[in-house]
Amino acid sequence: MTRAPRQDGLFEPNAFLQFFLAAQPVGRLVERAIRKSGMSASDYAILSAIDELEPVTPADVARLTGMPRPTLSATIERLSRAGHLLRRKHPSDGRSYRLALSARGRRAKDENGAALLEAEKSLAARLQHPEQVTALLADLRVAAEGALEDDGS
């Protein structure tokens, strides 16, 4: 039995629905790839951002990852207690600090990165145009950030 489309259009093919539906299994792939480390995808993203920019302030990590500051602060605290991050006073701003990876944090980031690369290869092998998908997702991120700015959020 075929159902007629809803009048409100909520389950018509649209960017929001397709993103949500794709994000579910992609998120599970990421979590499965790094499960052994005990880290979450957010933990890995923060370690990766810090690795790219170190030494880096929490504000810059928040901008790069798009993570809300309260969530980021709690994660930074947890990763610091676990020995993955080093905090150093900011040389020109006494109220702030800079983050860098510890040796333990670098190992965790590198090991998880290798596991994620294998998961990404498996996913890419099933895509017809992996480079186009990557480019479109980057466009989607930029567009979503712009839409948030338009809304004042």
Domains annotated for the chain, with CATH where assigned, are: 38-116 (1.10.10.10)
DSSP 48-70: HHHHHH-SB-HHHHHHHH---HH
Supply the mean pLDDT for the chain: 88
pLDDT score recorded for residue 126: 95
On the question of pLDDT at 22 being above 80, the answer is yes
On the question of pLDDT at 15 being above 70, the answer is yes
On the question of pLDDT at 25 being above 90, the answer is yes
Closest CA to 98 of 64, 53, 67: 53
With both helix axes pointing from N to C terminus, report the angle between 58-65 and 69-81 in degrees, rounded to the nearest 10: 120
pTM, entire model: 0.78
Query: Is the pLDDT higher at 124 or at 152?
Result: 124
Task: Dump pLDDT digits (tens) for 112-130.
Answer: 999 999 999 999 999 999 9
